[in-house]
Structure formats: C-alpha cells, structure tokens
Amino acid sequence: MGLTGLAIFKLLPKTNCGECGVPTCLAFAMALAAGKATLSQCPYVSDEAREALDSATAPPIKLVKFGSGDKVLEIGDEQVIFRHDKTFYHPTGIFIEVADNDANLAAKVEEINGISVERVGQKYELDGVAVANASGSADTFRAAAEAVAGKTDKAIILISECPTCMEAAASAIAARKPLLYAATAANYEKMVEVAKKVAAPLAVKGEDLSSLAELVAKVGYKELVIDSGARQISQVIADQTQIRNSSVKKRFRPFGYPTIAFTTESDPAMEVLEAQAFISKYASIVVLKTVKTEYLTSLFSWRANLYTDPQKPIAVQPGVYPYGAVNADSPVYITTNFSLTFYSVAGEVEGTRIPSYLIAFDTDGLSVMTAWAGGKFIGEAIGPWLKDSDINQKVNHKKIIIPGGVAAIKGKIEELSGWEVLVGPRDCTSIGSFAKLRLS
C-alpha cells in the first residue's frame, strides 16, 4: 500500500520552492501519491525522508535476480496472495540438485540441459542447477561449481553452509552470479562477506519463522532469498503461506523476499507432487532431484497454469499455418487464435497426415464458442476476411472447414466470401475421422 498524499507531504521540506516542477510541496506530494512524479525531482528531500518514502513505496516482495546472460532468473516482486486477485509475475524457478562429489556430475548436467517440453506453443526448460557441497571439501566444491558452469549456461545455486567452501566456489564462478545458499545463525557474518565480495544474492535459512525474521534483520544485506528451514511438506506450506501473507498484507519487511523450498520425497511421482504444492504456495525457487521429462512435464504445466494472467487469454499470432507438405489442393481449416484451442486443433489436423492449412482467426485469444457469443467468430467477421486473405493465393479451391459448434455461421461466411463451408466436428478429437470420411 502506498502512502497518501498527506503522509508524503509531512516528509517533504514544505518550502514551496517550486524546483520540482509544481508550485507547492503539497502539489508535489499529491503527484507522488498518484505515481505521476518521482522523488528524485525534489533536490531537498532529507536522507531520512527518502528512506521512509523508498521503503513505503517498495514492492511487498523484493525482486531478486541471479544467473547471467540470457539465463538471468528473476524471482519475487509479487503483489498479491491469490492469482485471481491480479496475476503472479515471476514463475517459480525449477532447479535440480547435484552433489559436488557425484562421479556422473557432467552427465547429470547434460541431462538437465536436455530437458525441454513443448506445450501449447510454449517451450519449457529447467531453470538451473543447484550444486550441493556433499563432499564438505572446498576444492571439490569449487571444481564442481566450475564444471557445472562450464557445462550449462543456466542459473546456478551453490549449496553449502561452510563459508570457506562457499568463498572458493562462489569466487570461481562469480561472473555467473550464483545464488549462495545459505546463511544461518552460525555463519551469517562470513556468508554476507562472501556474498558482498562476489556481488551475489544470498539465501538466509532460519530454524523456524521467528528465527528467520531475526536473522534477516541481522544480516544487513538486501539481496536475499529466504527459507524458514522447514522440510516437512505441511510445515513448508504453512510457513510459505505465512511469509506471503505477512509480506503482502502487513508489509512485514523481514519476509519481503523471494523464498526457496526443497523437496524431500525420494519417489519421483511423490516428489513432483510435493514440488507442485510448493509452487502453489508460494515458493519462488523449488529444488528437486528428479530429472525425468515424464515427471517434470506436469510440473511445467502446473507452473504455467498458475503464472498465466487470468485476465489475458493466451493467444497465438493470427494467420495461416501450414501443417505438412501443403499444396494447392490442401484442405483449409479455421479456428480461433486462443492457444489452447489452436494447438489442440493443430495436433489433430497434423494427426490426419493430410497436409493442410489451419487458419488462426483473430478473436483476441477467445475460444470458439466464447468468440462466437462475443461476435468475434461470426460470418460477418470471417467472410470479408476470407475473401481478401492470402489463403486465396495458396489453394486452388474455395472450401473451408469450420468448427461444428458454430455451424450456424456457415451461410453468412458463404454469402460474404464466396467460399463453400464444410461443417467440421464439434470436438476437435473427431477431426481424424472427419478427414478420413470427407477428405480422403
């Protein structure tokens, strides 16, 4: 919650010098409260007032970045507790833990690099590798950090509570800006020194929520990720929920940082379920051990569902898409540009093995029936578009297949475009049998 104009006014010099571009401090305070001015426009704000104003206008959860190049991971900076209140902005980073003394370290990192899943036109990959100092040796940890950095450009988390080991590994890969995990009550002074030296964010691990809050207040470093220390799934969820509530609703600053959670289940199916729970409530980073596409696919989908803007349908670029080695005789299908609809239809069209064109008609990302009800997928819109579309130059026939659910628009399309309309199945899963019957 931002400050009111009056509350801001109390912190301003009240000299009405006008250098900020408005005649009075009160007018400037009102402009600041409305987000129409920035504090830097007033050269006379005291340091004390600036700190108070900065902290009052800071987001409830700090944005933290780590990683390098085009693999910089941004976490935190969420504004709400429930996705339906607004949206979640920074998807949970999904990491795989590897041990620094694992004889198959290089192969495991290759495996992590190789995970790639495509779903409704989006490509999903793992966000990074968490290297654990299982050996307890600074040399082994440093060598493993270097080996991982050499094998992947993904973000890296270094896991060790030994400051000497952390310094060795973090200094060796400082250019990759790893996340350092973790500062505890026993080591935080030295861990903060290492984090400052390599300019990397630092995870702070408590033993419970109150010790975490105390520790965050003590570390005096602002690039933080927090962990209550809980590992039992119910306790992790309870702690994460309290952290999110305290930061968003009460602006409790010690909890105003992104969070990290670790899975503990050894069975991959259970581990993925555990990770799903952590993504839902409200981990900014989740660290797992399983590297198998069949398990991770559901996790990627789960995360994508949570982090899509509920007020903004996911749309594909409107246009004409070829599937297979199309030619002038290829059938032409039309559907809306709502991603889920489009890619479901595209999969079925491709499955007919008949090279075909599929038109993604611009409905602002609405599904077929919603777009039809909203007047965006109707004969009056499709007919004139079809008449002028470049699909006329791609095929030597004028037959178009429309979804069965909107059979009623057939007449209008034919009247306004001069094309013949074939009414396809209501459900796209029947496109295969429709094509066999009508197009073979």
Binding interface with ligand SF4 (CB under 6 A): 12-13, 15-20, 24-25, 28, 42, 44
Rounded to whole angstroms, the Cα distance separating 365 from 371 reads 8
Q: How far is the CB of 59 from ligand SF4 (least distance, A)?
A: 24
**CB nearer ligand SF4, residue 6 or residue 407:** 6
Q: How far is the CB of 38 from ligand SF4 (least distance, A)?
A: 12
**CB nearer ligand SF4, residue 12 or residue 299:** 12
Q: How far is the CB of 27 from ligand SF4 (least distance, A)?
A: 8
**CB nearer ligand SF4, residue 15 or residue 55:** 15
User: What single string gives the DSSP state of each residue in 150-163?
Assistant: HH--SEEEEE-S-H
**CB nearer ligand SF4, residue 29 or residue 286:** 29
Tracing tokens 């691990």 back to the chain, one arrives at 205
**CB nearer ligand SF4, residue 8 or residue 203:** 8
Which tokens sit at 138?
Answer: 């600074």
Q: How far is the CB of 12 from ligand SF4 (least distance, A)?
A: 5
User: Inter-axis angle of helices 233-249 and 209-219, to 10 degrees?
Assistant: 50
Burial (CB count <10 Å: 0-12, 13-18, 19+), residue 153? middle
Rounded to whole angstroms, the Cα distance separating 146 from 72 reads 18
**CB nearer ligand SF4, residue 18 or residue 411:** 18
**CB nearer ligand SF4, residue 16 or residue 135:** 16
Q: How far is the CB of 57 from ligand SF4 (least distance, A)?
A: 16
Nearby residues of 163 by Cβ (< 8 Å), 6 or more positions away: 187, 190, 191, 193, 194
Reported as type and span, the H/E element at residue 234 is: helix 233-249
156-191 core/surface letters (b: 16 or more CB in 10 A; e: else): bbbbbebbebbbbbbebbeebbbbbbbbbeebbeeb
CB 329 within 8 Å of CB 396: yes
Q: How far is the CB of 188 from ligand SF4 (least distance, A)?
A: 39
Q: How far is the CB of 58 from ligand SF4 (least distance, A)?
A: 20
